[in-house]
Amino acid sequence: MKLTLNIILLLSLLSSQRLFAQQIDKIGKENPVKVTGGISVNQTAYSAWGMESRRDPYRYILSGNLNFDVYGMAIPLSFSYSNQNFSYNQPFNQFSLAPTYKWMNFQVGYGSISLSPYTLGGHTFFGGSVSGSPSDRWDFTVMYGRLKKAVATSNEGGESPSFRRMGVGFKTDYRHKSGSLGISFFHAKDNPSTYPTDSLPEGLLPEENLATSFTIGQQIIENLTIQTEIGISFLTTDTQSEKSPDRPQGLDWIFTSRTSTAMYWAVNGGINYTIKGWNIGGSYERIGPEYRTLGSYYANSDLETATLNIAGGLFQNKINLGANLGTQRDNLTGANSSDMSNFNMAFNLAWNVNEKINVNSSYSNFRSFTVIRDQFEVINEADPNQPLDTLNYTQLTDAANIGINWRISQSKNIAQSISLNVNYQQTADLQTDSAAVNADSKFWNGALGWNWSHKPMDLRFGISANASLTQANAAMPSTFTTGPTLSITKGFLKKKIKARSSFSINQSRTDQIIQSMVYSWRLGASTTLNKVHTFNLSSVLLNRLDQQKADNSISELTVSLAYSFRFNGLKKTKSKETN
């Protein structure tokens, strides 16, 4: 561990000296102020018959946003007011200045950067960063700032108690003719003297982290490339613990190895091969147990994942095929009382039969296998050849889909088409590979539709029929729902106003007995004036007849009217110069 840490710190120091040597001589000139935003008003009226109202009879919402861009500094303002509450948001507690100059990008204030999932992965910080591409082959990113502020136990904002945590990181990538090289570095440390109160909450300890990753990509032969990334994280869970006697000397100013320091590894890689229109690839990732970095809010650990994929076309790409296989498992060292493994596969096909007909289909299969062991038997195991008492639990999911689209006619004025979609899904839970905990749950859904449109009249008409069948398990009755939908859309006043209407009926049956009938009618219209004013009117009338109740009719009416205004900047007026 001492040799490994020495090598990593040496490489990091050499790279950081190059990165921090970049100078900024001036800021690019841009329009000083840009203002964008909008305002909207939404009103909704509601009424119900035969049932208690599920919402207020009248509600309005007035909302707006105003975005100022002053020399690259974004200042968004927003508000929302309704007859139920009022809210206002201003960003002065979190601001960001992001100017640019030539190939350099700067950021001052609040921001987030992703260097690598193994080092700094999108954590918000308050500070500054510089990134850029000095050449076509080289990129770099540097950041420094506060990752966490000191928070006391009595904080009213819901934040957990914490010390102030500062962090620094950088990343650089170099691309050559047949590949690329990259390195990222991240260091973060808590300051225990910044805690606002004298008494520390139980379990709160100052931490320190040094994480780095190395990436490489290389073209081995023509059309064959590989890439890999190795991540290493040194994490100290208590910076007040004793220093490790075999720590690297002279490097305590960057990272101090202590008795509470542990090293974690992660690695991923991939390979890709292209031949005659086909692409074959695979990937592998292993994240060691307890892998963690202070540069990410959440990180996967104790996982091993492998995938294989293939995609290509046949018959001059009239048929496109794709397949994906993947597996994942946890509990890599066998230290946990349970382990889980997943296996999934997916296939898809796209077939252009001719210029008018195309077919799409897909199938996916997912298997999740869990083994739960009695932890006391693991601890007290006497005979390693004696099988332990375990519980095996398997979840299975199958899904399939097919869709057919037929463009019956396509002319300058008239177009019509027919579409058919069928979906199927089945799930099951099995225990000890024999008895089903929950028997098969099946779901079928089908939709058949016909659409007709007349372009000069701006008229569209559609008819669709839907059917779905749901069966929770073999012992439960199945539910069958069917119904048609009619829809029409028409443009008026040279397409400035769009009117739309639809009517649908749904019938639900259980064991061939009608349970309910649902009728719904939708009517609406919308228009846009001068590209900035938008009006939208919509209404829904819903009627439900419950065949199993005496008072079987309930109705709901909802009418909404919305207006919005938006603008994309303040225009300048040019004054004429007099000679």
pLDDT digits (tens, 9 = 90+) for 431-470: 655 544 555 788 999 999 999 998 888 899 999 999 998 8
Place 512 in a pLDDT band, splitting at 50, 70 and 90.
Answer: confident
Of 82-86, 120-124, 215-219, the one with minimum mean pLDDT is: 82-86
Check residues 489 and 23 and name the one with the higher pLDDT: 489
Q: Which of 555, 471, 477, 545 is nearest to 507 (CA)?
A: 545
Rounded mean pLDDT of the chain? 83
Mean pLDDT of 113-128: 93
- pLDDT given at position 23: 34
Residue 377 has pLDDT above 80, yes or no: no
CA-CA distance, 18 to 22, in Å (whole number)?
Answer: 7
Q: 471: which residues sit within 8 A by CB, 6+ positions away?
A: 440, 441, 442, 443, 478, 479
Mean pLDDT over 196-206 rounds to 80
Number of H-type helices and E-type strands within the chain: 2, 28
pLDDT in tens, 275-309: 998 999 999 999 999 999 999 988 889 999 999 99
Highest mean pLDDT among 207-216, 361-370, 459-468: 207-216
- Closest by CA to 211, choosing from 225, 229, 191, is 229
Residue 345 has pLDDT above 90, yes or no: yes
pLDDT for residue 578 is more than 50: no
Lowest mean pLDDT: which of 75-89, 240-254, 302-316, 323-337?
A: 75-89
Contact in structure between 294 and 314 (CB atoms under 8 Å) = no
Which of 356, 324, 235 has its CA nearest to residue 288? 235
With cut-offs at 50, 70 and 90, classify the pLDDT of residue 72: low
pLDDT(90) > 90: no
Stretch 240-248: mean pLDDT: 82
Q: Regarding predicted confidence, which is higher, 551 or 387?
A: 551
Structural contact between residues 99 and 77, judged by C-beta atoms closer than 8 angstroms: no
Q: CA-based Rg of the chain, rounded to a whole angstrom?
A: 31
Per the CB < 8 A criterion, the answer to whether 179 and 219 are in contact is yes
Higher-pLDDT residue of 384, 485: 485
Q: pTM of this prediction?
A: 0.76
In this structure, of 95-109, 252-266, 509-523, the range with the lowest mean pLDDT score is 95-109
Higher pLDDT, 514 or 3: 514
CA angle in degrees (0–180, nearest 5) for 211-213-217 = 175
